[in-house]
Amino acid sequence: MSEETKKPISGLIKKLPVVRDYMIPRSQLHVVSPELPIMSALDILLGRRVSGSPVVDPITDELVGILSEKDCLKLVATGQDHDLPTGFVRDYMTVNVFTIPPKMDIYYAAGLFMKHDYRRFPVVEDKRLLGQVSRRDIMRACRQHLD
């Protein structure tokens, strides 16, 4: 038996990079409460120049939705007589959120981005928001892994 064939197979297989290694951690995200007035949430999105925000219940600390630019466009559609729209984030947010686990490999995540028309996925474990990963994060991860 040659030295090449004696090497354990585990030494030949590279560990696939996972979403946790490339996500934006929760501490760096602009998280909002479902009880926040919608105009305050809109000010946060516009002021921080972000296109969406995870919505986390302040009591349970669980992800309960996402507030996106598209959700905020509902404000324009519901405004009457040029009055400021009223209501709360919970009234406008998307509640059926597609999430991914932190241990998912980046190539599988890339396939999900191809299958779904989302810009970002919340990274969740045990209903808790750990972070968020975007298309760009996954492209960067794939590029780094190919070197």
Q: Say if CB 133 and CB 123 are below 8 A apart.
A: yes
Would the pLDDT of 13 be above 70? no
For the cut 70, the answer to whether the pLDDT of residue 120 exceeds it is: yes
- The identity of residue 28, as a single letter, is Q
E strands of 57-105, at which residues?
63-68
CA dist 97 → 11, 68, 94, 117 (Å): 38, 11, 7, 13
pLDDT single digits (tens) 54-78: 999 999 999 999 999 888 887 777 6
Q: Are the C-beta atoms of 133 and 108 separated by less than 8 Å?
A: no
Which amino acid does the sequence have at 140?
R
pLDDT over 90 (residue 99): yes
Element (H, E) at 145: helix 135-146
All structural domains of the chain: 15-146 (3.10.580.10)
pTM (two decimals): 0.81
What is the rounded CA–CA span in Å between residue 64 and residue 118? 17
